[in-house]
Structure 1
Amino acid sequence: MSDFLSSGWSTYIALVALLGIFWCIWLLFSQRKVKVVHTPDGEVADTGHVWDGDLRELNNPLPRWWMWMFLFSCIFGLVYLVLFPGLGSFPGIMGYSTRGSLMQSMETSNEELKPVMSKYVNMDIVDVAADPKALEMGQRLFLNSCAQCHGSDAGGAKGFPNLADGDWLYGGSPENIKATITYGRGGAMPAFGAVLTSAQIKDVANYIRSLSGLPVDDLKAARGAEVFKTYCVACHGADAKGNIVIGAPNLTDKTWLYGSSENTITETLLKGRNGVMPAQDKVLSPEKIQLLTAYVWSLSNNKPSQSKQ
């Protein structure tokens, strides 16, 4: 339904559902009026369909038990659509929703697990990460809540950060990781397609590649450095090492979120990038967030701190 948000679509879907049920009821009763045709010798006439020489399809009326079951199914469908969602945006008089059911189930789960996890809430995250039992619970939480984007090994994918390499857009301290998990992040790289010429964008792409030692056109890179000073230093800094406060990546390391090819960097400059890390404070309890933070921190706590790109 996410692509059909207007009230017109809601009305259309409701009408299709109702008309479909009422048409079935009409069809059922219309067939009751059809008279059975008999042959001169008193047998029920067939429909003209014959198989294997003598297997005929007779024109018998529908069995009463089948007709009542069919009618009951239609009535059941109408009652269901009144009680539960199904008629477009009408929520049903019972007020049920799959989202509400999921949230209730999660609240129940949180309450049941609270006694097991509560002792970790007030502990230092580094100490939690040193507890094997806590890490095991944190890993399970990660597989349930985070692996869809970051992978079961936390290695990430194009557009999804690797959480095990020690490079962080918003900082890799326990406090920063917890804030990211709790409140989410919304990273935005603005598009420069309407600001810079295609030649300037290629120049900047070459300059950015040169910062991490990749092969470039030196002339383009030199011109790109001047463009970079005008348009990019506000976020990435004069040294291009980024800013964890706003999630601006370090452009001088060898870690790339979308790729390091000239075409990929050019695409980023032309169209921009928008990355969203969803907030988990409405989904996970404080106890689960604490355990999840400890697990994620433990994945790279012994690795050099750089900045994700």
Structure 2
Amino acid sequence: MTTGWSIYVIAIVAINILGCVWLIWWTGKRRPGDPAPTDTSHVWDGNLTEYNKPMPRWWVNLFYITIVFAIVYLVWYPGLGAFAGVAKWTSAREQAADKARDDAKLEQTFAPYAGKSIDVIARDPNAVALGRSIFNNTCATCHGSTAQGAVGYPNLTDQIWHWGGSPDDVLHSVLEGREGVMPEWGKVLTGMGGDNAVDYVVAYVRTLSNPDTMQNNYMAAQGKALYNGVCIACHGVDGKGNTAMGAPDLTDDYWLYGNSSESLRHTIENGRHGVMPAWRNTLGETRSRLAAAYVWSLSHPTQSTVTATR
């Protein structure tokens, strides 16, 4: 807060306090010339008259005590502009202390799972329950409460892993994050094969999961040459992909962005850029392991407990 704004806030506070003092003083006494309460003969309930009587002295004194308390409060805590207060209290420091205390309690809960492989953790029902809670609070926003994902967000309950599905691979994805980039190939392919080049590649990619459809398929035949010239570096000759690069397998029936011709055309022509955030700094390593163990349990039910995940 700048000095000018600080002075402004202090002035507003001071004016309000002085205004309250004056108002209590002004209304807390009778003045010469005020009519007596009995002058109108309007009396209710025995002692309630038409004119207001001054407040009782004890009541007025309570107001003054409240104002004194407010002044002390503003001096003790930071309530006067940029003035830090005698106690030097800040909400950030109190929040940090509360967080540290709660984190210490959490660490006691998570300590038994520190450093363990996620496939081992996944065999513990209590650990899976903790992992599910962590998943719902952090991962469900993208992957859904059932972990089945959405367009652009992978399904975590199947056996398809673009970056590898080993325990270490899954844990690395959670701890360090992933960044998958599909380059824009539209202009390159058009320069190589003409205006229909992207459609040719789409036709060929569709045959990778069913090679029999390659026979007498003119568009796929044209697309194969283009695929070998551009796509083979990441997806391989057989289209099986490369988990080291996050390049997906093109021979299965799973399509992260949809399997329509329009979606495939968009992917090839304009590229895709998918980011999985790194959770190490946010969750810490052990909580990340628990979340990863829960994910592992969903795709490996026979190798882990499922009693706490359904």
TM > 0.5 fold call:
yes
- Give the alignment's TM-score, normalised by structure 1: 0.64
Deviations 1:208-246 (A, max 9, x none): 122234989921111001100000011011111000101
Supply the distance in 1 between the matched residues of 2:250 and 2:218 (Cα, whole angstroms): 19
Are 1:237 and 2:236 matched, yes or no? yes
- Over 3 Å counting, the alpha-carbon distance change for 1:157 and 1:103 in structure 2 is farther
Identity of aligned residues (%): 38
- Over 3 Å counting, the alpha-carbon distance change for 1:276 and 1:228 in structure 2 is same
Are 1:212 and 2:227 matched, yes or no? no
- Give the alignment's TM-score, normalised by structure 2: 0.64
Deviations 1:63-95 (A, max 9, x none): xxxxxxxxxxxxxxxx788589xxxxxxxx999
Alignment-derived partner of residue 151 in structure 2: 158
- Over 3 Å counting, the alpha-carbon distance change for 1:128 and 1:183 in structure 2 is same
Q: What one-letter code is carried by the residue in structure 2 that aligns with 1:274?
A: H
Q: CA deviation at 1:109?
A: 3.6
Alignment-derived partner of residue 175 in structure 1: 168
Are 1:296 and 2:295 matched, yes or no? yes
Structure 2: which 5+ runs fail to align? 13-78, 303-310
Alignment-derived partner of residue 136 in structure 1: 129
Alignment-derived partner of residue 186 in structure 2: 193
Q: Is the 8 A contact 2:201 2:224 kept in 1?
A: yes
Supply the distance in 2 between the matched residues of 1:147 and 1:108 (Cα, whole angstroms): 27
Aligned-pair Cα RMSD in Å:
3.8
Supply the distance in 2 between the matched residues of 1:189 and 1:94 (Cα, whole angstroms): 51
Q: CA deviation at 1:206?
A: 1.2
Deviations 1:237-283 (A, max 9, x none): 11110001010000000001001111101101111100000000111
Supply the distance in 1 between the matched residues of 2:180 and 2:285 (Cα, whole angstroms): 24
**Runs ≥4 residues deviating over 4 A:** 79-84, 93-97, 100-108, 214-217
Does the residue aligned with 2:180 lie in a helix, a strand or coil? strand
Supply the distance in 1 between the matched residues of 2:202 and 2:94 (Cα, whole angstroms): 49
**Higher mean displacement: 207-216 or 238-247:** 207-216
Alignment-derived partner of residue 74 in structure 1: none
Q: CA deviation at 1:127?
A: 2.2
Structure number with greater Rg is 2
Q: CA deviation at 1:123?
A: 3.1
Alignment-derived partner of residue 279 in structure 1: 278
Q: For this pair of structures, how many residues does the alignment match?
A: 233
Supply the distance in 2 between the matched residues of 1:205 and 1:146 (Cα, whole angstroms): 32
- Over 3 Å counting, the alpha-carbon distance change for 1:193 and 1:179 in structure 2 is same
Q: CA deviation at 1:122?
A: 3.5
**How is 1:29-48 mapped onto 2 (pairs within 5 angstroms)?**
none
Q: Which one has the bigger helix percentage?
A: 2
- Determine which of 105, 110, 116 is the counterpart of 2:109: 116
- Over 3 Å counting, the alpha-carbon distance change for 1:218 and 1:131 in structure 2 is same
